Chain A
Amino acid sequence: MDFNFTEEQEMVRDGLSRLVREQYDWETRRKAIASSEGWRPEVWAQLAELGILGMPFSEADGGFGGGAVDAMVIMQEFGKGLVVEPFVPTVVCAGGFLKHGGSAAQKEEHIGGIVAGSRVFAFAYAEPRGRFDYADLETTAKKDGSGWVLNGHKAVVIGAPWASHLIVTARTGGERRDRSGVSVFVVDKSSPGIVTRDYETVDGRRASEVYFENVSVPAEALIGAEGEGLALIELVTDEAIAALCAEACGAMKVAHAMTVEYSRQRKQFGVPIGSFQVLQHRMVDMYTAYEQAVSLTYLATLRLGSDETERKRTVSAAKVGVGQSARLIGQEAVQIHGGNGVTDEYAIGHYFKRLTIFDAEFGNVDHHMKRHVALA
């Protein structure tokens, strides 16, 4: 048993922590998310330079040989600064599909660009009626000569406005919600027939509705075996969930610290509101919820390589526990900030918003509670 980070991990953390502190301060972030671009490509380039974007790839694939714990360290720091750049869609999701399911040619084609920061991905899996079920797909991919033709509508594709490429899930066989017949494709976003409607998300990111209208993709676009994509999707999304839990932990840590600090400064009735026991105990419960969330995030991260049942059960446990902690901490933080907590100007509300949207990403508390129960 060992809860220490390696020297390299400590270095990555220190480097990122500095970058977020110095170049991702609150005012800069506000401006960036309000700009027409909505993110900071120069930060992305810096992350590439620091080796962050290549961290989870093996050295053979052109990366730095890190693993899930490295991703966790990175995501915690991103969470502290509410970093919007698309690390999860690009590195964790697209990177995950390529790592676990990609052919040598696909790896060759894409990983270098991800590591260098020149290729940005979004993961188009959700559909308007799918609600957390990766197999509930109306998007279809039909054989057309040696290639495929995609048709369908993907919902709230995070980071799509910034992406050069998409990972797309589609049904190549079977009935809606069947476990077989699901396939995964890597698609150039500029392919003819792809139409997007871009918008902001409430937590400061950008997303798109993505429509596929007879989009032709070559045979090499298929990742993994035809019709057998679901297990791969579950593996990659479990990794993404662990990463998102780490991000939520970072955000919770800051939200809690801000709240304690605010309660120390803010005076009412002639004393700091932090002297009221009714608020103190709530901040203790927030702290406890945070520590429990960190523990579940560690557990899920360290169990990603276990057998499928164990992996799914611990990931679901984390998504449930971290989701509950995120809700508690977000709501209480706003409450203790009083009227200021509900203003756009104060940072705390933005932590609250990110922690709120986190819950529904890759399945909310109820969804993962069901999966946990089913795997008992």
Chain B
Amino acid sequence: MNLEFTPEEQAFRDEVRAFIAENYPKHLADFGMREDMSPEDMVAWHKVLGEKGWSVPAWPVEYGGTGWTPTQRYIWSEENARINAFMPLPFGVAMVGPVIYTFGNEEQKAKHLPGIRSGDVWWCQGYSEPGAGSDLASLKTTAVRDGDHYVINGQKTWTTLAQHADWGFFLCRTDPTAKAQEGISFILVDMKTPGVEVKPIKLLDGGYEVNETWLTDVRVPVENLVGQENKGWTYAKFLLAHERSGIAGVARSKRGVEKLREIAANETMDGAPLIRDFDFARKVSQLEIDLAALEITELRTLAGEQAGKGPGPESSILKIKGTEIQQRLTELTLEAVGTYGAPYYGSIANDTGSNEYAVGPAHAQHAAATYFNMRKTSIYGGSNEIQRNIITKMILGL
């Protein structure tokens, strides 16, 4: 038993670090999830990676994957997190891509996979509906066959970044008489098709990252059906279980704790650096301890995966603990900035032409917005309660 990476893995880390240092767009370093990021910014790194052949590391090599081991992929995500890089959006790379190369036909693979790899085509995920969240199988959006087209009607919601999307993958009911899980199909929709309407939803942090998506008599050619009609639930579940690595966000949280320590060293309390205050410092230590445990738990999962044991329901642990830690981290960061957590920076014009905001220290600017934003992590991707249900069934056997 040992925790050291092999010399090959160390060499891989060096290679990756050098590549990132040289190629990651400089103006995006430590950008994180800033509200003022343009769609071009969001795909900038994806495009660089597409050219290098590293944009879809987990895919099979024949479809453009890297053949990296799970550990190499872990190193990759760690190195990106070191500079808080904005990673390729998951909708194409981690979600619809694997569904297409696993269940799609040759035309679909040829048509869609290259754009996902290169970052030229922006995808969104049309699963959730106002009445179908955790209980996804109760979805109502219908697709009715009309000659060589499906006609889709319904409302999706929480469609992340659909305002920039070229394509979306949608779950639609194609057999209304079947049981809930049966009679659902997985359909690809060109977002420019007439009848598709996207309305942004403003979130707590003031940003617009999700949308309501209305589909009114949207005519989609039948060749956009992935796999078999009425078998969409199988593909949907495959997608949800796929690509869990990195779900814990360990590397990003480690970077976050470093940052929190920097902030707390610069804030003062009772005339001394905040980080010297024992009550505060112990909360930071608690976070670090929980994070250390999570890191080893993730490495143990990876080691299992590498030994051929698939990432089983244990990944639900990673989701639960990972998101709890992310939330506590952002909560503590907000606590650290004190009074300057209150200004709504979206309302403060940055008319000085510099990077300085008009009020407060730079490190306070995103603290509240990030805290508010991160409340989503225990809700989406299968809420933490749903993850507990999964562990209950699959691991505890209850």
Where the two chains meet, the residues of A that have a C-beta atom closer than 8 Å to any C-beta of B are: 1-5, 69, 260, 263-264, 274-275, 277, 280-281, 283-285, 287-288, 291-296, 298-299, 301-303, 314, 317, 320-321, 369-370, 372-373, 376
**Residue pair A373, B398 in contact (C-beta under 8 Å):** no
Does B21 touch A at the CB level, under 8 Å?
A: no
**Residue pair B396, A280 in contact (C-beta under 8 Å):** yes
- Which of B9, B282, B314, B320 meets A369, CB within 8 Å? B282
Does B230 touch A at the CB level, under 8 Å?
A: no
Question: Can you offer 30 A-B residue contacts whose CB atoms are under 8 A?
Answer: A1-B3, A1-B4, A1-B9, A3-B299, A3-B303, A260-B397, A263-B398, A274-B396, A277-B389, A280-B389, A280-B392, A280-B396, A281-B385, A281-B388, A283-B398, A287-B396, A291-B297, A291-B317, A293-B293, A296-B292, A298-B296, A314-B292, A321-B289, A321-B292, A370-B278, A372-B288, A372-B289, A373-B278, A376-B261, A376-B284
Does B349 touch A at the CB level, under 8 Å?
A: no
10 nearest CB pairs, A to B: A295-B296, A292-B293, A280-B392, A284-B388, A317-B289, A274-B398, A295-B297, A295-B293, A373-B281, A281-B388
**Residue pair B396, A284 in contact (C-beta under 8 Å):** yes
Chain A residue nearest in CB terms to B296: A295
Within 8 A of A (CB), among B287-326: 288-290, 292-297, 299-300, 302-303, 314, 317, 320-321
Chain A residue nearest in CB terms to B1: A69
**Residue pair B2, A373 in contact (C-beta under 8 Å):** no
**Residue pair B317, A302 in contact (C-beta under 8 Å):** no
Chain A residue nearest in CB terms to B289: A317
Most buried by A among B289, B297, B303, B397: B289
Within 8 A of A (CB), among B62-86: 71
**Residue pair A2, B303 in contact (C-beta under 8 Å):** yes
| A1 to B9 Cα, complex, angstroms | 10
| A299 to B2 Cα, complex, angstroms | 9
- Report chain B residues within 8 Å CB of A376: 261, 275, 281, 284-285
- Report chain A residues within 8 Å CB of B303: 1-4
Closest approach, in angstroms, between the C-beta of A69 and any C-beta of chain B? 5
Known A292-B294, A295-B297, A298-B296; judge A283-B289 contact (CB<8 A).
no
Chain B residue nearest in CB terms to A264: B398
- Which of A274, A295, A372 meets B285, CB within 8 Å? A372
- Report chain A residues within 8 Å CB of B385: 281
Closest approach, in angstroms, between the C-beta of B338 and any C-beta of chain A? 20
| A298 to B293 Cα, complex, angstroms | 9
- Report chain A residues within 8 Å CB of B103: none
**Residue pair B321, A1 in contact (C-beta under 8 Å):** no
Chain B 319-351 interface mask (CB, 8 Å, partner A; 1/0): 011000000000000000000000000000000
| A296 to B321 Cα, complex, angstroms | 14
**Residue pair B71, A1 in contact (C-beta under 8 Å):** yes
- Report chain B residues within 8 Å CB of A294: 297
Known A281-B385, A295-B294, A295-B297; judge A1-B398 contact (CB<8 A).
no
Given contacts A284-B388, A295-B300, A317-B292, 11 further A-B contacts (CB under 8 A): A1-B302, A260-B396, A264-B397, A274-B396, A287-B396, A292-B321, A296-B292, A296-B296, A303-B3, A317-B289, A320-B286
- Report chain B residues within 8 Å CB of A288: 317, 320-321, 391
**Residue pair B278, A320 in contact (C-beta under 8 Å):** no
Within 8 A of A (CB), among B356-398: 385, 388-389, 391-392, 395-398
| A302 to B285 Cα, complex, angstroms | 20
Closest approach, in angstroms, between the C-beta of A11 and any C-beta of chain B? 15
Chain A residue nearest in CB terms to B298: A295
Chain B residue nearest in CB terms to A5: B1
- Report chain B residues within 8 Å CB of A303: 3
- Which of A285, A292, A295, A302 meets B1, CB within 8 Å? A302
- Report chain A residues within 8 Å CB of B398: 260, 263-264, 274-275, 280, 283
Closest approach, in angstroms, between the C-beta of B15 and any C-beta of chain A? 18
Most buried by B among A260, A295, A314: A295
**Residue pair A292, B290 in contact (C-beta under 8 Å):** yes
Known A263-B398, A292-B321, A302-B2; judge A284-B392 contact (CB<8 A).
yes
Does B238 touch A at the CB level, under 8 Å?
A: no
Where the two chains meet, the residues of B that have a C-beta atom closer than 8 Å to any C-beta of A are: 1-6, 9, 71, 261, 275, 278, 281-282, 284-286, 288-290, 292-297, 299-300, 302-303, 314, 317, 320-321, 385, 388-389, 391-392, 395-398
- Which of A264, A275, A287, A302 meets B391, CB within 8 Å? A287
| A299 to B289 Cα, complex, angstroms | 11
Most buried by B among A1, A277, A321, A373: A1
- Report chain B residues within 8 Å CB of A283: 392, 396, 398
- Report chain B residues within 8 Å CB of A314: 292
| A280 to B391 Cα, complex, angstroms | 9
- Which of B284, B288, B392 meets A281, CB within 8 Å? B392
Chain B residue nearest in CB terms to A279: B398
| A275 to B295 Cα, complex, angstroms | 32
**Residue pair A299, B282 in contact (C-beta under 8 Å):** no
Most buried by A among B2, B294, B392: B392
Closest approach, in angstroms, between the C-beta of A4 and any C-beta of chain B? 7
Known A3-B299, A281-B385; judge A369-B5 contact (CB<8 A).
no
- Report chain A residues within 8 Å CB of B388: 280-281, 284-285
Closest approach, in angstroms, between the C-beta of A326 and any C-beta of chain B? 13
- Report chain A residues within 8 Å CB of B293: 292-293, 295-296, 299, 317, 321
Closest approach, in angstroms, between the C-beta of A6 and any C-beta of chain B? 8
- Report chain A residues within 8 Å CB of B2: 1-2, 302
| A296 to B45 Cα, complex, angstroms | 35
- Report chain A residues within 8 Å CB of B317: 287-288, 291
Most buried by A among B281, B314, B389, B396: B396
| A302 to B2 Cα, complex, angstroms | 6
Known A69-B1, A260-B396, A295-B294; judge A284-B289 contact (CB<8 A).
no
**Residue pair B3, A299 in contact (C-beta under 8 Å):** yes
- Report chain A residues within 8 Å CB of B321: 288, 292
Chain B residue nearest in CB terms to A4: B1
**Residue pair A369, B286 in contact (C-beta under 8 Å):** yes
- Report chain A residues within 8 Å CB of B391: 284, 287-288
| A246 to B281 Cα, complex, angstroms | 27
| A324 to B303 Cα, complex, angstroms | 26
| A68 to B237 Cα, complex, angstroms | 42
- Report chain B residues within 8 Å CB of A1: 2-6, 9, 71, 299, 302-303
- Report chain B residues within 8 Å CB of A4: 1, 303
| A264 to B285 Cα, complex, angstroms | 38
**Residue pair A292, B297 in contact (C-beta under 8 Å):** yes
Closest approach, in angstroms, between the C-beta of A265 and any C-beta of chain B? 12
